[in-house]
């Protein structure tokens, strides 16, 4: 090892020690007769001082030639800084190294962007093109360290709870009923393809049939779908599966793991958990109060129902609607027509027919606009249901239940953001349970699974299966946090007959079902234990704990929104020789 200490290690108590540090020139302050160099490595900054009276002329000359991002090695002696020259903002601020030798390992061109910021001042395209420079930022080092500690915590925790990590293949089988897959051509089997796994779902269930009982894996998953701030084409999950468990066993396991992590790693991310134990709400509650199946629970602004009041309203829009729901935007009574029009646009984009705006004035609902059409009694009843105060703005959607709730859910998030209601230093973890198992897909005229087709129905709903599929609830649970889905899981079907009923309901012929999922159906006939699991998203959890706005900040080499990497220049065209070997022809 060429260095005796890191650039973040030295303190006043090290005074007099001879040391060797190595790293990058962060900044150079040259006074002509005195030079300071901030030496940076992953661990911190240390000030190197070059005094011409105390170093040979050739060493001083080397120091004069240094530029930002040069890689250097410095030998010197730790000195206590004069009292007034200490820097309390630096962990190493009490000391400086009086250099006796400076070696340049490598010079550096002028970087295309500054390294001494958090990167928010630089176009992200450039950051990603020069990711190896971008990673030198303190922010990136902190994020990758946090991610490492999260994964290490997961491994230690799972190990401590009797789980073993088992690797599953990346070259997997194409399966329908899921996300679009990445395909890999087989050379040995011309015309045949592997698929990269969207998740190790089936394999981990087969591990349960294989008697592993407690499995986990830090698993890479691949989905060829369009990107979002919280979606990358390849991502990492803590994949978990256990035998002989109920829903609460799985939820409790993950909940304790996250609480422990948040407690032990408080120094790194500084985030507080808003709910311990985690909140629990049913899908119906989540939709009804927050208009979302992954609500941001850091603030209230719950949706309320005034249908009982408006059923016989003198306001035709209200009277005709299947349901009328609303939210209160506190203190927004001063909104202009232009501002409320923006909100109306947002509601329409989310599928609502429109937005009804009422103003809560000093003496009740303002009698203008929609307010003029409401009777005195209705206005009073609406304010009572809303629980609003003078100066508030009331937003209503009169529509069928689902569009009304989802539109108000989006409006709630929009108003929450405008009013800065969500505390950015908190994490509001919660479980959402009792999801409907199936949703009717109008376009395809068939039932589609809400989670996936291996999720078990609640025992009491088994009989409604064929008669009323929309009413069947599954043993599914989603981990949500601050408006993100941080993970999802379920108790699985472990019997062939039940699995076949699900497949039949989804419109799969038994022939098709067997072709695609025969390995599962067969396995269930050889003593498959009851089992269930979950897969928290590692990238998303790292993002949430780090307080970052997107996944790219917690991934060393992420893809951009076009699923491309402009540093590597991928994806890229294969050679004619490669294609020929794979028996693949490109048709553009």
Partner RNA sequence: GGAGGCGUGGUGUAGAGGCCUAACACGCUGCCCUGUCAAGGCAGAGACCGCGGGUUCGAAUCCCGUCGCUUCCGCCA
Site string for RNA, 72-91 (x = CB under 7 A): ---------xx-xxxx-xx-
Nearer to RNA, 303 or 309 (CB): 303
* Site for RNA contains 342 (CB under 7 A): no
Which residues between 3 and 32 bind RNA (CB under 7 A)? 27, 29-32
Nearer to RNA, 122 or 367 (CB): 122
| Shortest reach from residue 342's CB to RNA, in Å | 11
Strands of 224-366, DSSP E: 234-243, 272-273, 279-282, 304-305, 323-329, 356-361, 364-365
| Shortest reach from residue 43's CB to RNA, in Å | 16
Long-range contacts of 351-355 (CB under 8 A, 24+ apart): 351/403, 351/406, 351/407, 352/397, 352/399, 352/403, 352/404, 352/407, 353/397, 353/398, 353/399, 353/403, 354/317, 354/397, 354/398, 355/395, 355/396, 355/397, 355/407, 355/411
- Near RNA by CB under 7 A: residue from 41, 96, 392, 461: 96
| Shortest reach from residue 577's CB to RNA, in Å | 26
Site string for RNA, 167-206 (x = CB under 7 A): --------x-xxxx-----------------xx-x-----
* Site for RNA contains 226 (CB under 7 A): yes
| Shortest reach from residue 370's CB to RNA, in Å | 26
> What is the distance between the alpha carbons of residues 52 and 58, in angstroms, rounded to a whole number?
10
Nearer to RNA, 88 or 527 (CB): 88
* Site for RNA contains 526 (CB under 7 A): no
End-to-end Cα distance, the chain: 53
* Site for RNA contains 231 (CB under 7 A): yes
Angle between helices 401-418 and 283-290 (to 10 degrees): 60
552: three-class secondary structure by DSSP: helix
* Site for RNA contains 110 (CB under 7 A): yes
Go through the chain and tell me how many residues it has.
588
* Site for RNA contains 52 (CB under 7 A): yes
Checking DSSP bridges between strand 35-41 and strand 44-50, what pairing results, if any?
antiparallel
Q: Tell me the H-state helices in 282-400.
A: 283-290, 307-310, 316-320, 337-349, 376-386
Nearest to 101 by CA among 38, 13, 19: 19
Judged by CB under 7 A, the number of residues near RNA is 66
> What is the distance between the alpha carbons of residues 507 and 512, in angstroms, rounded to a whole number?
10
- Near RNA by CB under 7 A: residue from 73, 101, 124, 234: 124
Instruction: Using the rule CB under 7 A, give the single segment among 6-14, 111-119, 283-291, 379-387 that binds RNA.
Output: 111-119
Q: Where on the chain is the footprint of RNA (CB under 7 A)? A: 27, 29-34, 36, 38, 47, 49, 51-53, 67-68, 81-82, 84-87, 89-90, 93, 96, 110, 112-114, 121-126, 128, 175, 177-180, 198-199, 201, 223, 225-231, 349, 448-453, 550, 560-562, 564, 566
């Amino acid at each position: 090892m060429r260095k005796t200490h890191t650039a973040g290690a030295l303190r006043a108590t090290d005074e007099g020690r001879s040391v060797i540090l190595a790293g990058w020139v962060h900044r150079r302050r040259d006074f002509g007769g005195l030079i300071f160099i901030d030496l940076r490595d992953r661990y911190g900054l240390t000030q190197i001082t070059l005094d011409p009276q105390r170093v040979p002329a050739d060493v001083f000359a080397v120091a004069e030639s240094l530029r930002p991002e040069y890689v250097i090695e410095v030998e010197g002696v730790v000195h206590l800084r004069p009292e007034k020259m200490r820097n309390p903002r630096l962990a190493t601020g009490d000391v400086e190294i009086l250099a006796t030798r400076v070696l340049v390992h490598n010079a550096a061109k002028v970087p295309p962007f500054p390294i001494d910021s958090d990167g928010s001042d630089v176009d992200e395209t450039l950051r990603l093109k020069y990711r190896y420079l971008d990673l030198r930022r303190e922010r990136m080092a902190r994020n990758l360290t946090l991610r490492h500690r999260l994964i290490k915590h997961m491994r230690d925790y799972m190990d401590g709870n009797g789980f073993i990590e088992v690797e599953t293949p990346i070259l997997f089988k194409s399966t329908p009923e899921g996300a679009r897959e990445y395909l890999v051509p087989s050379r040995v089997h011309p015309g045949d393809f592997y698929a990269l796994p969207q998740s190790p779902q089936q394999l981990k269930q087969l591990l349960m049939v294989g008697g592993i009982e407690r499995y986990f894996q830090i698993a890479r998953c691949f989905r060829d779908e369009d990107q979002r701030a919280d979606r990358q084409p390849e991502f990492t999950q803590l994949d978990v599966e256990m035998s002989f468990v109920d829903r609460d066993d799985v939820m409790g396991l993950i909940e304790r793991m996250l609480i422990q992590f948040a407690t032990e790693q408080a120094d790194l991310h500084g985030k507080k958990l808003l709910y311990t134990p985690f909140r629990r709400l049913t899908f119906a509650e989540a939709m009804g109060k927050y208009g979302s199946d992954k609500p941001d629970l850091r603030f209230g602004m719950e949706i309320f129902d005034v249908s009982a009041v408006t059923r016989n309203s003198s306001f035709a829009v209200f009277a005709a609607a299947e349901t009328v729901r609303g939210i209160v935007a506190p203190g927004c009574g001063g909104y202009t027509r232009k501002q409320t029009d923006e909100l109306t646009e947002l509601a329409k984009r989310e599928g609502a027919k429109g937005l009804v705006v009422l103003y809560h004035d000093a003496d009740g609902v303002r009698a203008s606009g929609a307010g003029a059409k409401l009777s005195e009694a209705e206005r009073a009843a609406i304010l009572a249901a809303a629980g609003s105060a003078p100066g508030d703005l009331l937003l209503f959607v009169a529509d069928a239940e689902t569009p009304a709730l989802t539109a108000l859910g989006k409006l709630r998030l929009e108003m929450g953001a405008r009013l800065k209601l969500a505390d950015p230093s908190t994490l509001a973890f919660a479980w959402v349970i009792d999801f409907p198992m199936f949703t009717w897909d109008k376009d395809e005229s068939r039932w589609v699974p809400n989670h996936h087709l291996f999720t078990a129905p609640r025992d009491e709903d088994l009989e409604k299966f064929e008669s009323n599929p929309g009413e069947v609830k599954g043993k599914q649970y989603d981990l949500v946090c601050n408006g993100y889905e941080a993970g999802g899981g379920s108790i699985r079907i472990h019997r062939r007959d039940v699995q076949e009923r699900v497949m039949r309901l989804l419109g799969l012929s038994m022939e098709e079902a067997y072709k695609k999922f025969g390995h599962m159906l067969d396995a269930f006939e050889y003593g498959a234990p009851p089992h269930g699991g979950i897969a928290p998203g590692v990238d998303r959890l790292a993002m949430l704990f780090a307080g970052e706005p997107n996944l790219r900040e917690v991934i060393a080499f992420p893809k951009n929104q076009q699923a491309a990497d402009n540093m590597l220049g991928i994806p890229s065209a294969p050679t004619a020789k490669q294609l020929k070997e794979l028996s693949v022809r490109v048709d553009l």
